[in-house]
Structure 1
Amino acid sequence: MPNPPVFRRPLAALLALGLIASCSASGENLGEPRPELGNFRLCYNIVTTNDAVQGPLSREADLDAFAELLRSEVNRRFGRYQGDRLYHLAMHIDAYVLAVPGIPLVASPRSALITSVNVWSDALGRPLNEEPEQFTVLESAGAGSVIGSGLTQSAEQQMQQLTRNAALRIEDWLASHPEWFEDTAEPAEDLETTTTAEAPETDPCAYVPAQHQTTQETPPEAAG
């Protein structure tokens, strides 16, 4: 399986994130499943953090925890889709800002996360997007964002909110490409019918990568 393209460097975008005042839509509530995702079923859910950049006016993040929270939020949002085709999401944390306490309404930085995503088709054994899709998500609107979340939230709470919003943005992106999830090819084997005499309990999605891995991985050959 070929290596996916190199993720774009986020340094230029980070320069604008220190005092951003706009806010992301909240990913706290899942809402209704998106019909555009058709036969989607999440298999591998991989997050890497190599070369992640800490932005200006930011607390330092525990990258292992950040990756674990993003995987958890992606599982929460996409685990409800039970289609008959398997897809993999390979994500990379490019950069982040976890707001530090500042002077309210004058120098209160906003938390932000830049992440890049590839979606892989298990049946095709390759990513469906030609280049990684990069998103910038911000903290949600609310009382904390008015005075700066650095004054009202812990670093873990900030990471939780950002990863929820990132999972929502990924869902919106996938929904904008319904052609990826249509019945245009032979479906991958359904999870309930993948058992064999040699491996009666084999689950094609049983592989779970280390939460803290620092090199970008692609879904294993076993997924194809």
Structure 2
Amino acid sequence: MLSVPRRMFIALSLLALTACGDAQEVTEETALANLGDFSYGYNVVIAKDAQKAPFSRTASEEEIETALKAAMQARLGRYDGDKLYHIGIKVDAYGLAMPGVPVLFTPKSVLVLSVNVWDDSQELKLTEKPKLLTVFEKLSGETLIGSGLTRTKEEQLAILSRNAALKVERWLQENGQWFGVEPIAPESSDADEARAALEVLAPEATQAASNSN
């Protein structure tokens, strides 16, 4: 059984990545970030062989790819900078919270993504290695005990996809030098992203590692 300190650590780790509300649908009033010369090129999303989290509803490759591509286009397709940048996303894993499952195992729905960026004009891959992003539904009165009771699979996937697009947008800002602007401070570290993904996708492994220390 997890110790109290360990439970607290898990809760705080997840809370750090779910502090704000879910991303709303993009409208004409949605503010643009400072992305310099960025203009969205190819919108590539691949969900083949994505791992399904324990106690997750099942979504098809097509369902995941369609939802995520639409959210990415809605958010990043608004930019009209002078240069094209292509973004490729591999969906490594997903979780869509089921109803009636203890919060310890599925605190919320999740997407785990590996993201790469290419500069079209230079024919250059800007990411030395894929950027791991772990994206959750945000904490609210509806989702504190898991959204499986309050949201359909389609609603969960749409919200996760909007949150993912927003997180990708912010990560691009963190690498503003690619687009000729000043970068902003990172919101989380690579270790934070990896730890958060493991806590949801491999709870038994993280529990065993904790018990062995």
Check if 1:53 corresponds to 2:51: yes
More helix by share: 2
Q: Distance in 2 between matches of 1:72 and 1:80?
A: 13
Aligned residue pairs: how many? 164
Q: Distance in 2 between matches of 1:89 and 1:182?
A: 17
Structure 2 equivalent of residue 131 of structure 1: 129
Check if 1:28 corresponds to 2:27: no
- The secondary structure found in structure 2 opposite 1:143 is coil
The within-5 A match list for 1:14-163 is 22=15, 23=18, 25=20, 26-28=22-24, 30=26, 31-35=30-34, 37-102=35-100, 109-163=107-161
Q: 1:93·1:115 contact (CA, 8 Å) conserved in 2?
A: yes
Change (3 A) 1:24 1:166: farther
- The secondary structure found in structure 2 opposite 1:147 is coil
Q: TM-score, normalised by structure 1?
A: 0.67
The within-5 A match list for 1:196-211 is none
Unaligned residue ranges in structure 1 (runs of 5+): 1-16, 184-224
Q: Distance in 1 between matches of 2:101 and 2:57?
A: 16
Q: Which structure's CA Rg is the greater one?
A: 1
Change (3 A) 1:159 1:24: farther
- The secondary structure found in structure 1 opposite 2:144 is helix
Q: 1:57·1:109 contact (CA, 8 Å) conserved in 2?
A: no
Please report how far the alpha carbon of residue 79 of structure 1 lies from its aligned counterpart in structure 2 after TM superposition. 1.4
Please report how far the alpha carbon of residue 107 of structure 1 lies from its aligned counterpart in structure 2 after TM superposition. 6.3
Q: 2:48·2:61 contact (CA, 8 Å) conserved in 1?
A: no
For residue 87 of structure 2, what is the amino acid of its counterpart?
Answer: L
Q: 1:24·1:139 contact (CA, 8 Å) conserved in 2?
A: no
Partner of residue 173 from structure 1, selected from 168, 171, 187 = 171
Structure 1 equivalent of residue 7 of structure 2: none
Structure 2 equivalent of residue 214 of structure 1: none
For residue 68 of structure 1, what is the amino acid of its counterpart?
Answer: T
Change (3 A) 1:86 1:40: same
Q: Deviations over 1:119-144 (max 9, x none)?
A: 11001112101000010011022232
Work out the percentage of aligned pairs sharing the same amino acid. 39
Higher relative contact order (CA 8 A, sep 6+): 1
For residue 31 of structure 2, what is the amino acid of its counterpart?
Answer: E
Q: TM-score, normalised by structure 2?
A: 0.71
Please report how far the alpha carbon of residue 33 of structure 1 lies from its aligned counterpart in structure 2 after TM superposition. 1.1
Change (3 A) 1:105 1:45: closer
Please provide the CA RMSD for this pair: 2.2
Unaligned residue ranges in structure 2 (runs of 5+): 1-9, 182-213
